Amino acid sequence: MTDTLLQRIAGGDRAAVAACIDTYSGLVWSLARRFLQNEADAEEAVQEIFLELWEKAERFDPGVAGEVTFVSMIARRRLIDRRRKLDNEPVAEALDEIEHSLCEDATGLLEANAELERVVDAIRTLKPEQQEVINMASWLGMSHSAIAEQTGIPLGTVKSYVARGLVKIREVLGEPALAGKATS
């Protein structure tokens, strides 16, 4: 079995760095443009993402997730951090309004976190290739054709993985399947 690009980078292969840029620059640029408003911020973010990929290449474990998923998650985290930094402008509000809002937010956050854990556990019941496709479609908002292009999986297979994966997730969560059900 041949090493992935990130494994080669972790091993010190300089040629793998250029190959990594060639392979994942389209994906990373696409994500950066979606998350950030201007080209300069996107360009800076892309550079930071690739630097972080090279610094964390040794953490990549192909037994846990696919390389595309690893790259996407690093990019997503870095872009969220950058977006928060850009959006971090102080807003003047009354202290009691902030306090009330924080209490509501904390309750909602706890509920949302519990639900998210259930969903992540449900996703983990899927086959690894289904998990990767579902993660790319759901968390990263990639289209089926973009997933097929990035992973090399045929478009029809990507669509099947998503459809069957969502049905399985609904079953695990105890929710009825939506397809073929008539509503009264």
Domains 1-90 and 108-184 share a fold: no
- CB count within 10 Å of CB 168 equals 18
Instruction: Classify burial at 129, counting beta carbons within 10 Å of its beta carbon; exposed 0-12, middle 13-18, buried 19 or more.
Output: middle
How many Å from the N-terminal Cα to the C-terminal Cα in the chain? 54
CATH no. of 108-184: 1.10.10.10
SS3 182: coil
Please report, for the chain, the start and end positions of each structural domain, with discontinuous segments joined by +. 1-90, 108-184
pLDDT tens for the chain, 184 residues long, are 578 888 998 898 888 888 888 888 888 888 888 888 788 888 899 999 999 988 988 988 888 888 888 888 888 888 888 888 877 655 445 555 555 555 555 555 566 566 777 877 888 888 888 888 888 887 778 889 989 988 899 999 999 999 998 888 888 888 765 544 444 3
Class of domain 1-90: mainly alpha
Q: How does DSSP assign 80-142, residue by residue?
A: HHHHHHHH-------HHHHHHHHHHHHHHHHHHHHHHHHHHHHHTTS-HHHHHHHHHHHTS--
* Residue for token pair 């300069």: 40
The pTM is what? 0.48
